[in-house]
Amino acid sequence: MTAAAARSTAHSIVEASPRTKAFAGGLVILYAVITILPLLWIVATAFKSQSDAIAYPPKVIFEPTLEGYVNLFTVRTRQTPDFIAKLPPPETWYDQLVRKRDMVIAGPSKVVPRFVNSLIIGFGSTFLAVFLGTLAAYAFSRFRIPLADDLLFFILSTRMMPPVAVAIPIYLMYRQLNLTDTRLGMILLYTAVNVSLAVWLLKGFIDEIPREYEEAALVDGYTRLQALRKVVLPQAVTGIAATAIFCLIFSWNEYAFAVLLTSGEAQTMPPFIPFIIGEGGQDWPAVAAATTLFVVPIVMFTVLLRKHLLRGITFGAVRK
Amino acid sequence: MAQIRIENLRKSFDQFTAVEGSTFTIDDGTFFAMLGPSGCGKTTTLRMIAGLELPTEGKILLDGEDVTFHRAAARDIAFVFQLFALYPHMNVGENIGFPLKCQGMARREIRERVQETARMLRIEHLLSSKTSKLSGGDRQRVALGRAMVRRPKAFLMDEPLGALDAEFRHLMCGELRDLHDRVKATTVYVTHDQLEAMSMADQIAVMNKGRVEQIGTPQEVYDRPASMFVADFIGSPSMNFLRFEGGLRSGDRAVSFHDTRLAVPEIREDRASAPLALGVRPEHIRFADAGAVRGEVFGAEYLGTTQIVTVDTAYGRVAARLPSSASVRIGETIGLEFNAARLALFDVGSGLAIRTASEEGPRHG
């Protein structure tokens, strides 16, 4: 097919009427409110006192406090008022805040190492999955691979059941290999789950890039790998960004395996957050503070890549 | 600049054989066109010469050096693709300079060479534009620039004008030929368009089903087709075939065509009786009342200086090219007379031409 003919098959776009636009806009706003409201509630709860957080009816207007964040980052012990009175005056604002509740700070909580675990495991597995996925997708897209269709189907089939279905065999295997509760173990696991998604998504994107680009580069003096890096990848950036976000969202939010396979050293945020216990039960402001903190990196990552993402999600999905 | 030699080149994909044992030589500085219908193996042959595809069997020699299994980059040839393959993330100048960058040339030298190439192609004013903003013709010039800038041993072009509209294609044909005359580089040009091949090439290889049917100058291929396929493929409208049965004797100057004798160029081989075809180009037919073959005018297509008149005869429909001044009435019965010196004879069984005085030694692929 000639380029001109290929272009002419694009759909013509009919401008929507103002009423349709208003209706569509209204729907989008409604949907945004529904999805953003819980998030806003969480952010607000993080600034409430414990009693405000569980007040009924729920308080929309309240006196903000940083107690939730202080409780999230510290471990505290309850003391008698007499003991506290005998202590030297508080050095910092958070010491003061805690002492008002008849408590003293005993040390930092585990939240920072858990958060670091999440970052390392989330981004590490995303990088690996996208890296391996790109190479595999390129090979599937460009080379004559025996049984390519069967292999691709096999790769996809690993996602046909919920990954947790194989949790127990994986647990046993990991125990045997001493991979339980290690960052490496979690990175490998999330990479394995994500790589199938990455291969399929990226193959679609790479298929859209005309082969002639690399062939021109090959004739002009590049090796296959150089051509991939300098010619194919710059054009696949959109797809790579979209794939990376999908992979990161999965490994960042993954809960079931994290509960099962991590308990200490390598524990990530999702299993950590629900177990933030305060006095006499769940410390909801601290949980909300942790959740807020947890959402920030993924929002930042998505915002950074949003230019690619918008095009990426629609591009490649539709075959011309 | 280089001579390209192809020896018994064969390529099969699984069950399907794309190219079957062709052998030919492309001389240094030749504009060599490979012409054939789609799927005839011309592009596969070109890609094997480029090193983008490895042959199943056979050899490719570049200036006598066996490069059959060399990497594409090691062959010092340039390839121009049908859809240009300009890198969208680079501007025109970067695109043209890319092959030099691959070779690690100094930036200043690259700039000079790019300038020089752009001047030759008259696209200097476009060097800093985005490739997506260019017209089809300019894209083609940039693609040519990218091929030329390296001063390669040979240019390989895969239907480089296929994506342009008809008017522009004609203009680019002229430019390409002009460029070839200035650069004098060996050029292998793949096309399915006989007009492109005829107007530009020094030599044409007509391919069919993975085989080279004939190699020759445009005149040879047109005037003395080596097979019925070539005769049919080249020329518009194509050659008329009038079937008959008969034997041939070397030295005969006429054949028994059904009930009459038709004068033909002197036959140079003996044949036992077999199904034969008389090949007549439309422009070698005249209307004459005394004509041996008679038929009824079916239609006329007016083309300005000439007209194509189709006539239904007892031996099939025949197209004749007549001056447009000739008056023709549809339904009228007329006689056809052939220009005896320009007739061709074919063996229908093998499809090959029978040697006659007019076609001394056609080269079978």
Q: How confident is the model at residue A169 (pLDDT cuts 50, 70, 90)?
A: very high
pLDDT at residue A20 greater than cutoff 80:
yes
Q: Which of residues 154-173 of B touch A (CB under 8 A)?
A: 162-163, 165
The answer to whether residue B12 neighbours chain A at the CB level (below 8 Å) is no
Q: Can you give the pLDDT at residue A305?
A: 85
Instruction: Let me know if A261 is exposed, middle or buried by CB neighbors in 10 A (0-12, 13-18, 19+).
Output: buried
pLDDT at residue B361 greater than cutoff 70:
no
pLDDT at residue A13 greater than cutoff 90:
no
Q: Tell me the average pLDDT across A68-78.
A: 88
Contacts of A215 in chain B (CB under 8 A): 50, 52, 72, 79, 81, 85
Q: Can you give the pLDDT at residue A279?
A: 64
Cβ-nearest to A235 among B82, B88, B165? B88
Q: Can you give the pLDDT at residue A185?
A: 95
Q: Tell me the average pLDDT across A37-43.
A: 92
User: Identity (one letter) of the amino acid at A222?
Assistant: Y
Q: Tell me the average pLDDT across B262-283.
A: 91
Q: How confident is the model at residue A161 (pLDDT cuts 50, 70, 90)?
A: confident
Contact B83 A222 (CB under 8 A): no
Where is mean pLDDT largest: A86-90, A236-240, A287-291, B137-141?
Answer: A287-291
pLDDT at residue B365 greater than cutoff 80:
no
The answer to whether residue B136 neighbours chain A at the CB level (below 8 Å) is yes
Give the rounded percent of residues in chain A with a pLDDT score beyond 90. 46
Which chain B residue shows the shortest CA-CA distance from A209? Answer: B85
pLDDT tens sequence across B24-38: 999 999 999 999 998
CATH class of B237-359: mainly beta
Q: Tell me the average pLDDT across A229-234.
A: 88
Of A82, A123, A126, A125, the closest CA to residue A102 belongs to A82
How big, in percent rounded to 5, are the helix, strand and coil portions of chain B? Answer: 30, 35, 35
The answer to whether residue B88 neighbours chain A at the CB level (below 8 Å) is yes
Q: How confident is the model at residue A319 (pLDDT cuts 50, 70, 90)?
A: very low
Cβ-nearest to A219 among B78, B103, B136? B78
Q: Can you give the pLDDT at residue A140?
A: 94
Q: Tell me the average pLDDT across B267-295.
A: 90
In this complex, how many residue pairs, one in chain A and one in chain B, have their CB atoms less than 8 Å apart?
65
Q: How confident is the model at residue B160 (pLDDT cuts 50, 70, 90)?
A: confident
Contact A4 B165 (CB under 8 A): yes
Of A193, A311, A180, the closest CA to residue A242 belongs to A311
Contacts of A225 in chain B (CB under 8 A): none
Q: Can you give the pLDDT at residue A11?
A: 53
Greater confidence (B314 vs B364) lies with B314
Contacts of B81 in chain A (CB under 8 A): 212, 215-216
Return the DSSP state at B328: -
Residue A243 to residue A88: CA distance in whole angstroms: 55
Contacts of A213 in chain B (CB under 8 A): 85, 87
CATH 2.40.50.140 positions along chain B are 237-359
Contacts of A220 in chain B (CB under 8 A): 73, 78, 98-99, 102, 146, 150
pLDDT at residue B150 greater than cutoff 80:
yes
pLDDT at residue A4 greater than cutoff 70:
no
Contact B102 A221 (CB under 8 A): yes
Sequence-separated contacts (24+) of B121-129 with Cβ below 8 Å: B121/B145, B121/B148, B121/B179, B123/B92, B126/B92, B127/B91, B127/B92, B127/B93, B127/B96, B128/B91, B128/B92, B128/B93, B129/B91, B129/B92
Q: Can you give the pLDDT at residue A88?
A: 85
Tokens 């052939």 belong to B338
The answer to whether residue B242 neighbours chain A at the CB level (below 8 Å) is no
Q: Can you give the pLDDT at residue A6?
A: 43
Q: Can you give the pLDDT at residue B22?
A: 83
Which chain B residue shows the shortest CA-CA distance from A232? Answer: B87
Give the rounded percent of residues in chain B with a pLDDT score beyond 70. 98
CATH 1.10.3720.10 positions along chain A are 111-314
pLDDT tens sequence across B84-115: 788 888 899 999 998 898 888 899 999 999 99
Question: Which listed CATH number (3.10.28.10, 1.10.260.40, 1.10.3720.10, 3.40.50.720) goes with A111-314?
Answer: 1.10.3720.10
User: Which helix (DSSP H) or strand (DSSP E) does residue B103 occupy?
Assistant: none
Round to the nearest angstrom and report the end-to-end CA distance of chain A: 12
Q: How confident is the model at residue A278 (pLDDT cuts 50, 70, 90)?
A: low
Q: Tell me the average pLDDT across A250-255.
A: 93
Contacts of B72 in chain A (CB under 8 A): 215, 218-219
pLDDT at residue B364 greater than cutoff 50:
no
pLDDT tens sequence across B26-69: 999 999 999 999 889 999 999 999 999 899 999 999 998 999 98
Contact B163 A4 (CB under 8 A): yes
The answer to whether residue B99 neighbours chain A at the CB level (below 8 Å) is yes
Its ipTM equals 0.75
What is the pTM for the complete model shown?
Answer: 0.75
Q: Can you give the pLDDT at residue A316?
A: 45
pLDDT at residue B177 greater than cutoff 70:
yes
pLDDT tens sequence across B1-20: 689 999 999 998 888 888 98
Tokens 């490649």 belong to A316
CB B34 within 8 A of CB B73: no
Q: Can you give the pLDDT at residue A203?
A: 94
Cβ-nearest to B52 among A210, A215, A226? A215
Residue B96 to residue B110: CA distance in whole angstroms: 9
Tokens of A260: 């099962």
Q: Can you give the pLDDT at residue B362?
A: 46
Q: Can you give the pLDDT at residue B333?
A: 92
Which residues of A lie inside 8 Å of B (Cβ-Cβ)? Answer: 2-4, 144, 210, 212-213, 215-223, 226, 231, 234-235
Q: Tell me the average pLDDT across B240-262.
A: 89
The rounded mean pLDDT for chain A is: 86
Contacts of A223 in chain B (CB under 8 A): 71, 73
Q: Can you give the pLDDT at residue B360?
A: 56
CATH 3.40.50.300 positions along chain B are 4-223
pLDDT at residue B118 greater than cutoff 50:
yes
Which SS3 state, helix, strand or coil, does residue B148 take?
A: helix
Of B45, B48, B17, B51, the closest CA to residue B33 belongs to B45
**Cβ–Cβ contacts within 10 Å for residue A55, how many?**
12
pLDDT at residue B322 greater than cutoff 60:
yes
pLDDT tens sequence across A81-133: 888 888 888 888 888 888 888 888 888 989 999 999 999 999 999 999 999 99
Contact B72 A219 (CB under 8 A): yes
The rounded mean pLDDT for chain B is: 89
Return the DSSP state at B131: G
CATH topology for B4-223 is: Rossmann fold (3.40.50)
Which chain A residue shows the shortest CA-CA distance from B105? Answer: A221
Which site among B84, B86, B98 would you substitute to test the A interface, given the most A Cβ atoms closer than 10 Å to its Cβ?
Answer: B98
Residue B246 to residue A215: CA distance in whole angstroms: 53
Instruction: Let me know if B331 is exposed, middle or buried by CB neighbors in 10 A (0-12, 13-18, 19+).
Output: exposed
Contact B79 A213 (CB under 8 A): no
Which chain B residue shows the shortest CA-CA distance from A234? Answer: B89
Closest CA of chain B from A133, distance in Å: 23
Q: What is the DSSP string of chain A?
A: --HHHHHHTSPP-PPPPHHHHHHHHHHHHHHHHHHHHHHHHHHHHTTS-HHHHT-SSPPSS----SHHHHHHHEEEEE--HHHHHHSPPPSSHHHHHHHTTTEEEEEE-SHHHHHHHHHHHHHHHHHHHHHHHHHHHHHHHHS--TTHHHHHHHHHHTTSS-GGGGHHHHHHHHHHTT-TT-HHHHHHHHHHHHHHHHHHHHHHHHHHS-THHHHHHHHTT--HHHHIIIIIHHHHHHHHHHHHHHHHHHHHH--HHHHHH-SSTT--HHHHGGG-EETTEE-HHHHHHHHHHHHHHHHHHHHHTHHHHHHHHHTTTS--
CB B198 within 8 A of CB B218: yes
Indicate the range of A149-153, B159-163, B244-248 predicted with least confidence.
B159-163
CB B8 within 8 A of CB B59: yes
Greater confidence (B281 vs B72) lies with B281
Contacts of B191 in chain A (CB under 8 A): none
Closest CA of chain A from B99, distance in Å: 5
Q: What is the DSSP string of B198-240?
A: HHH-SEEEEEETTEEEEEE-HHHHHHS-SBHHHHHHSSSS--E
